[in-house]
Structure 1
């Protein structure tokens, strides 16, 4: 697949000007060129993720004076979409880290969040330690992995144990954060666990898509936590603050799907240009000259553009919500971003798998070989979309129009 398709002066590009200006273009292009090999051979992207860390991907939102690139929230999403177009596994693996940085930027004076930002500035990435079981009852909130941490008098540090399923990205992360009850004071605290003795991340994720996100089981076996890496909880939210704090997660995933759709459009150009045989009942000798196939490529292009436009609308709403933080406009702006995120997910989750199927229609029997791995696009889209299914979004959006019902405030919506 080429990284750009030039057609009569118009272009469809893998890498946006934003990623290019940040020096990420060559790395993203290389990731795109090697994505099929990783998919076929299940080669985990340790080297690729290490390079992105070294290039500062995990610190893009930090101010320049703090070791980052000082990009806007919108620009972060543009880079994330480029990366998802190259390989959605890698983009997905960074999601939890990028959210944790985003949360830390809001409270950078708090010692816990200052620690998170220092790790990001140092090129480290951070995983989460939430939800110790995959059997969560309806209406229940996820529990903590290290539910209690016990003080070790002999060695002067805390110890904690636990197990986390669906630990997206933890296979590649350098540290892990979460909440626990500090046993001596019986008080909830925040902690940072460094990768090291007692930390084990298994590559046992069995999904049919997004196979290399590192979403296996993370195990913490009597891990040692120095006392200077145990912190008080965040202060309570100020009165009147918008309660929808997790819209970032959902927008990021939908943005990843939009990246996959862009890759489908790029792959579609390559499929038609390189397809060698046409059906005997076609109207042209070569597929590239076949009117029905040209029209089908145009359909893929148009729908792909519509998908990106839909997520761009939501990203703009999320940027407005960020910009309103601490002002009288915050509540309405955050609510608007949450509604927009639900709308984009409903539309994109519905259209994206169809666009992936159209790619196979375009190539017909010429593209169904496992060696091309074009089926990965549909599989990856469906696995990403399965996080917080659109069915619940559809129901809520209808109820919101009918009676003004407000969105749920938990992370899983």
Structure 2
């Protein structure tokens, strides 16, 4: 493998100057070098994620005074894309935590969000204990894992049980947040649950891609939540506030796919340089001198650059929306960010699998061995893209042009 931290002959590199400025180069390079071995052996990246936590990846968005790096939202996405290029499983595993940080940064004075920020500053990561279910009806609200928590007088704490499927990243997280009804006031509350007795995670995620994200089942069996870690709900949004609160989720996932595409382009350089034989009907003895293969490499490079430009447009729109939070311009800018995120997903979900196909075309029979691990790119792209499929995004974008219909206000819009 070539040195992925440096240019492969132009602007193509694994580690961006932004990530390097945050001291993450060595960790990202190590993660990239060992990604194939983890994929083949199904070795969970516990050590790699622990190192990233220690280096402050999970707290990049906190101010330096609060124990973070003071990164902008755009800088966070740039570093996350570098991480996805190194190993998309690890980047994906951090998504729920990074969203919790974003939500907390908007309301840092609320005690629930202050707790999230304190955990983050301490190098901890936070997962979710909201349920996802294939049985949810169209338009329904997802159910809660700990739907009810009961006050335990003897313990002077709350107790609750539940089960979460598709618990992405929870295998690696230190705490979990969610909503529940508490029995004393019969009121909906939000809570922070520390990893401890009763918290179990199964590595039973059976997807054909993103196999190491820790997306298995999370069990919460009679877990204890101290009363000081149970909080009132956030106050209602101000009148005129934008209702699209989850655009971050979609942009983050599409950003992960863009990182995979960059890795494909880097791998394509290695594949062509390493090929020792050409077909008998080729026009050059060495594959690297074959005009049609050089053109294929150029096509991969160009499309990879277009993918990164497309996601950068969506990130810029989200940054603009973030900057408008709490102002009169918020509604229109957040709406624009939601539509831009949908546009980026439609384009990148279409292009990325094709670019993965071109990598196999470039290498031909010399790269189809499972030991190369190159099939992981297509598989990972398709699994990431399956979150809120692009077909619904296409429909919404068309309806918006025709009638002005607005995006849904739930997750992934």
In 2 relative to 1, CA 282–224 (structure 1 residues): closer, same or farther, beyond 3 Å? same
In 2 relative to 1, CA 371–331 (structure 1 residues): closer, same or farther, beyond 3 Å? same
Match of 1:303 in 2: 303
Q: Distance in 2 between matches of 1:353 and 1:249?
A: 21
Tell me the secondary structure at the aligned position of residue 340 of structure 2.
Answer: helix
Contact 2:60 2:68 in 1 (8 A): yes
Report 1:171-186 matches (<5 A). 171-186=171-186
Tell me the secondary structure at the aligned position of residue 115 of structure 1.
Answer: helix
Deviations 1:122-170 (A, max 9, x none): 0000000112533211111101110000000111110000000000000
Structure 2 gaps, min length 5: none
Contact 1:4 1:266 in 2 (8 A): no
In 2 relative to 1, CA 4–296 (structure 1 residues): closer, same or farther, beyond 3 Å? farther
Deviations 1:160-212 (A, max 9, x none): 00000000000000000000001110000000110010000100000000000
Q: Distance in 2 between matches of 1:88 and 1:141?
A: 29
Match of 2:166 in 1: 166
Match of 2:41 in 1: 41
Q: Distance in 1 between matches of 2:49 and 2:18?
A: 19
Deviations 1:310-341 (A, max 9, x none): 00001000000000111111111101100000
Match of 2:236 in 1: 236
Report 1:30-109 matches (<5 A). 30-109=30-109
Match of 1:352 in 2: 352
Q: Distance in 1 between matches of 2:206 and 2:114?
A: 35
Match of 2:142 in 1: 142
Q: Distance in 2 between matches of 1:399 and 1:325?
A: 27
What is the TM-score when the length of structure 1 is the normalising length? 0.99
Q: Distance in 1 between matches of 2:133 and 2:374?
A: 33
Deviations 1:235-255 (A, max 9, x none): 001000000000000000000
Contact 2:157 2:225 in 1 (8 A): yes
Match of 1:249 in 2: 249
Instruction: Please tell me whether residue 364 in structure 1 is matched to residue 364 in structure 2.
Output: yes
Contact 1:132 1:162 in 2 (8 A): no
Deviations 1:86-122 (A, max 9, x none): 0000000000000000000000000000000000000
Contact 2:265 2:301 in 1 (8 A): yes
Q: Distance in 1 between matches of 2:44 and 2:216?
A: 12
Match of 1:116 in 2: 116
Deviations 1:233-288 (A, max 9, x none): 00001000000000000000000000000000000000000011100000000000
Report 1:177-256 matches (<5 A). 177-256=177-256
Contact 1:5 1:266 in 2 (8 A): no
Q: Distance in 1 between matches of 2:369 and 2:28?
A: 25
Match of 1:23 in 2: 23
Tell me the secondary structure at the aligned position of residue 212 of structure 1.
Answer: coil
Deviations 1:276-311 (A, max 9, x none): 110000000000000000000000000000000000
Tell me the secondary structure at the aligned position of residue 343 of structure 2.
Answer: helix
Q: Distance in 2 between matches of 1:369 and 1:5?
A: 27
RMSD: 0.9
| 1:11 Cα offset (Å) | 3.2
Match of 1:155 in 2: 155
Match of 2:335 in 1: 335
What is the TM-score when the length of structure 2 is the normalising length? 0.99
Q: Distance in 1 between matches of 2:29 and 2:85?
A: 10
**Poorly superposed stretches of 4+, deviation over 4 Å:** 4-8
Contact 2:99 2:248 in 1 (8 A): yes
Q: Distance in 1 between matches of 2:57 and 2:8?
A: 31
Q: Distance in 2 between matches of 1:96 and 1:132?
A: 13
Q: Distance in 1 between matches of 2:378 and 2:137?
A: 30
Q: Distance in 2 between matches of 1:363 and 1:403?
A: 47
| 1:34 Cα offset (Å) | 0.1
Q: Distance in 2 between matches of 1:220 and 1:335?
A: 36
Match of 1:411 in 2: 411
Match of 1:313 in 2: 313
Q: Distance in 2 between matches of 1:7 and 1:174?
A: 38
Contact 2:59 2:68 in 1 (8 A): yes
Tell me the secondary structure at the aligned position of residue 11 of structure 2.
Answer: strand
Q: Distance in 1 between matches of 2:235 and 2:6?
A: 50
Contact 1:241 1:330 in 2 (8 A): yes
Structure 1 gaps, min length 5: none
